[in-house]
């Protein structure tokens, strides 16, 4: 079968490898849509593991069913979680599924930028979900990123009527924006360095979209009755974005670090001011099964609209171009790879 083999952000090659063979309890899934995630182009993290086949935002149809699998059949349209928690360890039982050792060790083979993947038994049992009949494969590829956003806002304890600032209007930022709207936030403001993305943020429901170079705290106070944002979501892993976020959180508010910095980067926090103002700092990573189910329902009911975020649909041989588009973060949003083209 054909795969897109990642070497670095500028070197993604179309290669051949054997189609995976499945065993008892496993599934063979034909990939129909696979989104390029912002984490896929975090070169500082990915290149040390190269060469490898990336891709975890997937949707497809079952092409083979292993012995003992009773809940799925050939032809079923599915979303499959790349990583799954055990749901039994101390971390899972306390709600911290994302730090479960099992989650960090599980994956499907080889990756979503391939014609087929093998789904191991544990992923079949805990991480495979039927797509609703009226959900396209493209929409299904947004289930994983939306699930992560749902988890982030859950940890941040967003409440109806609060004000939200989203720093970074890429896919994650736009999903946060839409979810905050669905959660009935009173005010949603988006920032970015790209005019293209700011325009899309406005069209997708932001009350205000601001270039990151503006005096964002002052603009917030002007439209928010003299207050900063109750929730600030950082969807850009740059120091300038983090520094802006620190200046924009209201007393008693929450700062959610959704995007990471490169490993080893130390972030200065004004601890005295945060202590005095009871500011909460939280992070989130990945999504559990309940959050995946909620993402499916939000997409199915169009409470979160994902179709309009797709700017490019490329065949497997064009995956390298897709990586360049996502890494440059210019006039593109969601790039979908369609391996069967």
- What is the pairing mode between strands 187-192 and 208-211? parallel
- How many other β-carbons are positioned within 10 Å of the β-carbon of residue 243? 12
**Of 295 and 332, more confident:** 295
At 250, the pLDDT band (50, 70, 90 cuts) reads very high
SS3 199: helix
How far is C-alpha 180 from the geometric centre of its chain's CA atoms?
15
Residue 329 pLDDT > 90:
no
- Walk me through the domains of the chain, giving residue ranges and CATH numbers: 2-142+306-338 (3.90.180.10), 147-283 (3.40.50.720)
Mean pLDDT (the chain, rounded): 96
According to the model, what pLDDT value does residue 285 have?
A: 94
pLDDT in tens, 194-221: 999 999 999 999 999 999 999 999 999 9
Cβ distance 219 to 191 under 8 Å?
no
- How many other β-carbons are positioned within 10 Å of the β-carbon of residue 233? 31
Residue 311, judged by CB atoms within 10 A of its CB (0-12, 13-18, 19+), counts as middle
The 10 Å CB-count burial string (b at 16+, else e) for 38-67 is bbbbbbeebeeeeeebbbbbbbbbbbbbbe
Paired tokens of 221 = 């106070």
DSSP 78-112: EEE-SS---S-SHHHHTT-GGG-TTTTT---BS-S
Paired tokens of 261 = 């910095």
């Amino acid at each position: 079968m054909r795969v897109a083999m990642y070497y670095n952000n500028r070197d993604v090659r179309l290669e051949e490898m054997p189609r995976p063979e499945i065993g008892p309890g496993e599934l063979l899934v034909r990939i129909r849509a696979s989104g390029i995630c912002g984490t896929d182009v975090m070169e500082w993290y990915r290149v040390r593991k190269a060469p490898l086949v990336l891709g975890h935002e997937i949707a497809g149809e079952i092409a083979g069913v292993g012995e003992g699998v009773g809940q799925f059949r050939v032809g079923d349209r599915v979303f499959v979680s790349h990583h799954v928690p055990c749901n039994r360890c101390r971390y899972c039982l306390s709600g911290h599924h994302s730090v479960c050792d099992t989650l960090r060790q599980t994956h499907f083979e080889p990756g979503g930028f391939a014609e087929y993947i093998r789904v191991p038994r544990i992923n079949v049992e805990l991480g495979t979900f039927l797509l609703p009949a009226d959900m396209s494969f493209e929409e299904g590829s947004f289930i994983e990123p939306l699930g992560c956003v749902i988890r982030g806002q859950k940890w941040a304890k967003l409440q109806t009527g609060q004000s939200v600032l989203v720093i970074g209007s890429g896919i994650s930022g736009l999903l946060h924006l839409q979810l905050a709207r669905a959660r009935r936030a009173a005010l949603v403001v988006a920032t970015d360095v790209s005019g293209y993305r700011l325009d899309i943020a406005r069209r997708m429901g932001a009350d205000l979209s601001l270039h990151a170079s503006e005096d964002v705290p002052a603009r917030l106070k002007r439209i928010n009755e003299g207050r900063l944002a109750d929730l600030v979501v950082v969807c850009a892993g740059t120091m300038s974005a983090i520094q802006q976020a620190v200046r924009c959180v209201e007393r008693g508010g929450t700062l959610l670090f959704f995007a990471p910095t490169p490993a080893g980067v130390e972030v200065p926090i004004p601890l005295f001011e945060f202590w005095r103002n009871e500011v909460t700092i939280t992070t989130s990573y990945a999504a559990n099964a309940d959050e995946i189910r909620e993402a499916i329902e939000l997409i199915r009911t169009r409470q979160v609209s994902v179709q309009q975020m797709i700017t490019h649909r490329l065949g497997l041989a064009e995956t390298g171009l897709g990586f360049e588009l996502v890494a440059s973060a210019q006039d593109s949003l969601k790039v979908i790879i369609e391996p069967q083209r």
